[in-house]
Chain A
C-alpha cells in the first residue's frame, strides 16, 4: 500500500506530515463539537446545515482570494488532504461563530470574508489560511453569539434591554411596556434553537471547546503545511551529491524559500526553479566580484565622511582577490 506524496521511507516519515495529519484531526474534532448543541431534554441536536453552508461560502471566497494571490496548489496526498481540512475547518469555524440569523449575520459574513481573504506575507500553505488576528476577531464573534444564545435561553429575545432614565424608576405597572427599550430583537427561529429549548451551559462547553480546537488546529495546520513544503524542497535539493546540495542550500537559504516562490510548485517546476535560482545567484555573485575587481580604490584615497565609511566596509567585507591596500 503506497500513497503518492507520502514519505518514501515507510518507517521514518517526515515530521511535518505527522504534524499536518494531527492538525487536521484536531480541526475535525473541533468541527464535530461546533456542530452540536444540547437541547432542553439533554439530547444532542445539530446546529443546522444553513450556518455550515454560509461558512462554506465564506471559506470558498477566502480560498479563491488566497489562491489568486499565492498561486500555491497542493501537490501531494497529504497536502491536498490538509487543504481540504483547512477549507472545512474554516467552514466549521465561521458557521460556528456567525449569528445564525438577523441582519447582523450578513455584516459578520462581510467581515469574515475580508479578514480571511488576507494571508500571511511569509507563509503560503496550500488551501485557505488563518491568521492569529483573524482568530481573535472570530473569537469576538463567538462571544457575541454566546451572548445572544444566553439571552434566548433565558427567554429574553433582544441583544440588550436598556431602562429609560426617570421613566423606569416610576413603579407603575401600566408604564412597564415603555420603561425599557429593546435593542436588536430576534426570534428563536433566527437563533436556530431546538424545539425543546437549549441548555446553555452544556452547549457553551461544546462550542467553546470546538472553537478552541478548530482554531488551534487551523493555525497548527498553517505552520505544518509550510514545514511540509520545506521538507519537499529539502528532499529535492538532497537528490544532488552531498557537496553540491550543501552549496545549493548556501546559495538558497531555507528562510528565503517562501519568498523565492519555491512553495506549492510541482516536482518538475521546483527543479527548474531551483536551477534558475542557482544560476541567477551565481551570476549575481560573479557580477559582484567583477565590480570589486574593477573598483579603483586608490583613486578614492582618504575621501573621509560617508564615502570613507563605505570604503572601509568594503576593505573589511570584500572577497580576498578584490581587496587592495590603499
Chain B
C-alpha cells in the first residue's frame, strides 16, 4: 500500500508538468504576474526593434526573365526573328513544328503575305480570296500550340508590313481597324499565356506595341477630333489585357512595364494613351508604317 501511495504521489507530481492544461495554467499564471508581463513586452519589443533594423537590409532582385531560363531541346532560338523583316527566311523551321492537320493549310497559304508586292489596301485584300484563306489559317493557328501561335503572329505582322492601312486625307480608318482586330484576336488568345512563355513573350510584347500603333492610327485618323469607337475599343481591351488601370498589373502588363516603360506610362495615363506604344513600335518595326515602307 505504501509503495502504491508513493508511486501515486510521484506520478501526480510529474504528470501535471506534461499535461497541456498544466502548461496553459503556468503561462496564464506568468502573464498574471505584472513584472513578467512587462518583461515579456520588452522582449517582444526588442525583437521587433532588431527586426525593424534588419528588414531594411533585405535586397530586391529581379526574377530571371522567361527566355533566360534553361530551355528544352525543342526551344526555338531567337523567336523575335520571325517577327522582323527576315522572318520569311525561317518559316520552314516553323512549318516543321506544326501539327500535320495545320500543315496542309500552312503549306497552301503561308507564303501569301510574303508574296504581296503591290501594297494592296488591307481591307480590299483581306476580303478577297487570298485574304480569306489567310484569315482562316490564322484562326486555325491560334487554336494550336505555341509554335502555331508564333506562326500566326508572324503572319499577321507580315500582313501589316506588306499591306496598306495608313489612312489618307480623305480615306477612312477601316483598314487600320481591321488590322487592329487581327492583332487583338491573337493577343486575346495568347497574350495572357505568353507572359511566362520564353518563346512567345518578346513576340507578344512586340505584337502589343504594334497593336497600339495601329489602333492609334485608327483613332487619330480624322483630321479634326478623334474616332471614338477604335479609341474606346483599344482602351477597354488593353486595360483588361495589361491591368494598366488596376491596382496590380497582369503578368503581361508587368513585363510590359519592365521592358517598355514609355509605353506603359502612357498606357496608364489619360488622353493619347497609345503614344508610348506607337513610339516603341516605331523603333521596333521602322518599316511598318501602313504604306509598305514606302
Contacts and interface: CB of A to CB of B under 8 A. Distances in A.
B35 A6 contact: yes
Contacts of A49: 53, 56-57
Contacts of B124: none
B34 A10 contact: yes
A21 interface: yes
Contacts of B36: 1, 10
A49 B38 CA distance: 30
B34 A7 contact: yes
B265 A156 contact: yes
A88 B61 CA distance: 28
Given A41-B63, A195-B61, A92 B41 contact: no
B34 A12 contact: yes
Interface string B214-228: 000000000000000
A10 B39 CA distance: 11
A57 to B, nearest CB: 15
Contact of B62 (A9, A31, A32, A196): A196
A27 B42 CA distance: 12
B10 interface: no
Contacts of A85: 45, 49
B231 interface: no
B52 interface: yes
A22 B40 CA distance: 11
A7 B168 CA distance: 89
A195 B45 contact: no
B69 interface: no
Contact of A45 (B51, B59, B257): B59
Interface residues of B, number: 37
A268 interface: no
A7 B55 contact: no
B42 A21 contact: yes
Given A40-B258, A45-B59, A85-B45, A32 B51 contact: yes
Interface string A17-37: 110011011011101101110
Contact of A43 (B44, B52, B60, B258): B60
A78 B34 CA distance: 13
Interface in B175-207: none
A14 to B, nearest CB: 9
A154 interface: yes
A60 to B, nearest CB: 15
Given A28-B49, A31-B48, A40 B56 contact: no
B248 interface: yes
Contact of A21 (B45, B62, B257): B45
A194 B32 CA distance: 45
A78 B52 contact: no
A309 B151 CA distance: 107
A47 B36 CA distance: 34
Nearest to A156: B265
A253 interface: no
Nearest to B62: A195
A52 interface: yes
B107 to A, nearest CB: 43
A13 B60 contact: no
Contact of B257 (A17, A24, A34, A197): A197
A31 B52 contact: yes
A174 interface: no
A39 B33 CA distance: 43
Contacts of B273: none
Contacts of B45: 21, 24-25, 27-28, 81, 85
A146 to B, nearest CB: 16
Contacts of B247: 201
A21 B55 contact: no
A155 B269 CA distance: 11
B1 interface: no
A119 interface: no
A28 B48 contact: yes
Interface string B259-294: 001101100100000000000000000000000000
B35 A10 contact: yes
Interface string B235-253: 0000000000001100000
Interface of B: 32-39, 41-42, 44-46, 48-49, 51-53, 55-63, 247-248, 254, 257-258, 261-262, 264-265, 268
Given A25-B41, A36-B58, 12 more contacts: A1-B36, A6-B35, A6-B39, A7-B35, A10-B33, A13-B38, A21-B45, A25-B45, A35-B52, A155-B257, A155-B262, A156-B265
11 contacts: A7-B34, A21-B45, A24-B42, A31-B52, A32-B52, A41-B63, A46-B57, A47-B56, A85-B45, A196-B60, A196-B258
